[in-house]
Amino acid sequence: MAATAQEIENNPKFKELVAARKSLGWTLSVIMLVIYFGFILLVAFNKPLLGTPVAAGSVTTVGILIGLAVIVSAFVLTGIYVSKANASYDVLTKQIVEESK
Amino acid sequence: MSRIKTVLSAALLAALSSPALADAISGATEKQATNYHAIAMFGFFVLLTLGITYWAAKRTRSAAQFYTAGGGITGFQNGLAIAGDYMSAASFLGISGLVYLSGFDGLIYSVGWLVGWPIVTFLIAEPLRNLGKFTFADVASFRFQQAPIRILAACGTLVTVAFYLIAQMVGAGSLIKLLFGLDYAYAVIIVGILMIIYVTFGGMVATTWVQIIKACLLLAGATFMAFMVLSKFGFSPEALFAKAVEVHPKKLAIMEPGALITSPLSALSLGLALMFGTAGLPHILMRFFTVADAKAARKSVFYATGFIGYFYILTFIIGFGAIVLVSTNPDFLNPALVAKGKSGIDAIRGGNNMAAIDLAGAVGGDIFLGFISAVAFATIVAVVSGLTLAGASAISHDLYATVVKGGKANEQDEIRVSKIATIILGIVAVILGIVFEKQNVAFMVGLAFSIAASCNFPVLLMSMMWRGMTTRGAVIGGFLGLISALVGVIFSPAVWEATLGYPKGSALFQIANPALFSMTFAFVGIWLFSKLDNSERAKIDRAGFDAQFVRSQTGIGASGASAH
């Protein structure tokens, strides 16, 4: 007899999975939102800062580096999520599925 | 001054809506000499993809194969296909063209289009895969009364797809006219016929592989261009930037934000549309059902984010490369404009969206120019195929099978309806493409993103996350988002003033993108009308959350990969 939704929800492993996914997913989402909207607000409010050269005599500006850093951060954050999720979610999910059969 | 203003506002409009082919889209293109290299290489691409379609057609028998390739695509392949859907000709030519025109501002768009992906990974990809079968409406309507939510989702899908499709078709016609020297109408018809063949015969299997091949070609071509540009500067970006600053009429201003973002409110609203529109595009959401499980779904967005981020960095280098190598080379400039004293940047033949194409000629000669032109055409065909499949699925799976037949449709009938819908959508797209030839349709992609962010995304997210949502709340909130996004765009400066020609400053909403408000309407609408909903149906909706939640988290009961 397969477990009901209620029974699965009461499984401590299910609670662990949900809590883990929720905290990681939302934490990383908030980080991404802060990074991105931080960048957008800098564009809106502090153009001179973005136009500052990274070093005396160079034409590369702080803005270019920040923009590229936002792109890289999107990839890195996604990577962090995937590696953490691969390490823990799938094992937990498999156990829950087994226990619910 | 006024010329600069015109160029700037065109770029702005283009970019904002953009994946933009501003000049191409505004119909200002002249037909070029027939480009045989490009036509030969595009012909080769067509033969290859038709071969794949033939192979795919033989294995596309069931509805699952037609809609989702039977769930048999791997995470890596799907990552490439998603990236392919996203790297449209417009984003390739539009962003590099924007960088060419104003440097740093191009980066603002690249960033906006990329940052939606992590959010999709963190919050949407896994539950979406666990709950869905063929369309995102499967997920949005999971525990609700089927008909109203399916109708809402189908409206959201079809409106998004229609605007996106028109923009792509018009862009295709103008671009092909420019690149291949083919007549506008022929180009649009070729695109329409190819997409109908891929989708009706090969379904999602063919659509996915066409997209994967094109993504590889585009990434390879763009990588080669960026490599050649950097190799001329000893692989020092600083040296490239220094030379660009020297030759660009705006000098150092190209290294910092320019006129693109005018007010903080506009910036915020545009940012929201770019970020969350991604998470509501039906043809992208559909791709998550082509992989086996939540793990593969998660991986595919990781790969997609990597490819797209890398691609945007390349377009940035390509844009700067074009400033240095194209704007200084009389071969690529319009002599009449140069004679009038225009800078190389303003005088580029065919407008700033040609920057990447001309750069291909500058670094790789005629053969490589032909290759990049062929890839640009292939890109459009691949993207419109994905869009059409998503639109056809909304008609056959959501409207026909679920609403009309009450979920009891015969599978073969459903596939037949889908194929008929594909043919009709293809014909309509060709006709609209021809009708809108002379119109500036650049705003339409922006509109598609706004609607995706204001209707599809809120309903999808809330249905998965919030126990309290009810059918009534979803339908009212979803339509509020849809309608307010539509109204907001029509009465925005880009459409009201720039496209419809009413005087400057007369637009009702002086904001480039309505997402900040329309998304708020959608979320508040869903929340409020769900809270107020005391109907019998509301009790069933809320009671259904537990079963849905368990499945969304664990995949128990999810539709798996079908055997091949």
Strand, coil or helix: what is B352? Answer: helix
State yes or no: pLDDT of B343 exceeds 90: no
Over residues B222-267, the pLDDT tens digits come to 999 999 999 999 999 999 999 999 999 888 888 888 776 667 788 7
- Crossing angle for the helix pair B146-180 and B411-435, nearest 10 degrees? 50
The amino acid sitting at B23 is D
Confidence at residue B503, expressed as pLDDT on a 0 to 100 scale: 83
Region B403-426: mean pLDDT is 91
Tokens representing B365 are: 């000669």
Largest CA distance in chain B: 75
B81: confidence class by pLDDT, cuts 50, 70, 90: very high
Strand, coil or helix: what is B116? Answer: helix
State yes or no: pLDDT of B270 exceeds 90: no
Confidence at residue B441, expressed as pLDDT on a 0 to 100 scale: 67
Asked if CATH classification 1.10.150.120 holds for the domain at B2-440, the reply, yes or no, is no
Give the containing element (helix H, strand E) for B257. Answer: none
**How far is B1 from chain A, CA to nearest CA, in Å?**
22
- Residues B353 and A98: their CA atoms lie apart, in Å, by 55
Question: A28 contacts in B (CB within 8 Å)?
Answer: 118, 122
Largest CA distance in chain A: 74
Q: Residue-wise over B486-518: b if at least 16 C-beta within 10 A, else e?
A: bebbbbbbbbbbbbeeeeeeebebbbbbbbbbb
Helices (H), B236-347: 237-247, 264-278, 282-285, 294-325, 335-339
Question: B299 contacts in A (CB within 8 Å)?
Answer: 82, 86
Over residues B36-68, the pLDDT tens digits come to 888 888 888 889 989 999 998 888 888 888 899
Q: Residue-wise over B387-423: b if at least 16 C-beta within 10 A, else e?
A: bbbbbbbbbbbbbbbbbeeeeebeeeebbebbbebbe
Could you say which of A28, A75, A90 has the minimum Cβ distance to residue B122?
A: A28
- Residues B48 and B50: their CA atoms lie apart, in Å, by 6
> Which of these, B222, B43, B130, lies nearest to B550 by C-alpha position?
B130
Q: Are B187 and B173 in contact (CB under 8 A)?
A: yes
- Residues B282 and B140: their CA atoms lie apart, in Å, by 12
Cβ–Cβ gap A36/B115 under 8 Å: yes
Confidence at residue B28, expressed as pLDDT on a 0 to 100 scale: 45
Q: Are B121 and B299 in contact (CB under 8 A)?
A: no
- Residues B390 and B15: their CA atoms lie apart, in Å, by 25
- Residues B391 and B200: their CA atoms lie apart, in Å, by 13
- Residues B414 and B401: their CA atoms lie apart, in Å, by 6
DSSP state of B491: T
Tokens representing B21 are: 């082919």
Exposed/middle/buried for B534, CB within 10 Å: 0-12, 13-18, 19+? Answer: exposed
**How far is A63 from chain B, CA to nearest CA, in Å?**
6
ipTM of this predicted complex? 0.93
State yes or no: pLDDT of B480 exceeds 90: yes
The amino acid sitting at B403 is V
State yes or no: pLDDT of B348 exceeds 90: no
CB-defined contacts A:B, below 8 A: 161
Confidence at residue B341, expressed as pLDDT on a 0 to 100 scale: 80
Over residues B515-553, the pLDDT tens digits come to 999 999 999 999 999 999 999 999 999 988 988 988 888
Q: Which residues contact B48 (CB under 8 A, 6 or more apart)?
A: B213
Residue numbers of B between 122 and 141 with CB closer than 8 Å to A: 122-123, 126
Over residues B170-197, the pLDDT tens digits come to 888 877 877 787 888 988 999 999 999 9
Give the containing element (helix H, strand E) for B342. Answer: none
The structure tokens 């007899």 sit at A1
Confidence at residue B20, expressed as pLDDT on a 0 to 100 scale: 36
Residue numbers of A between 38 and 97 with CB closer than 8 Å to B: 39-41, 43-45, 47-48, 50-51, 58-61, 63-64, 67-68, 70-72, 74-75, 77-79, 81-82, 85-86, 89-90, 93, 96-97
Q: Are B93 and B353 in contact (CB under 8 A)?
A: yes
* Mean residue pLDDT across chain B: 86
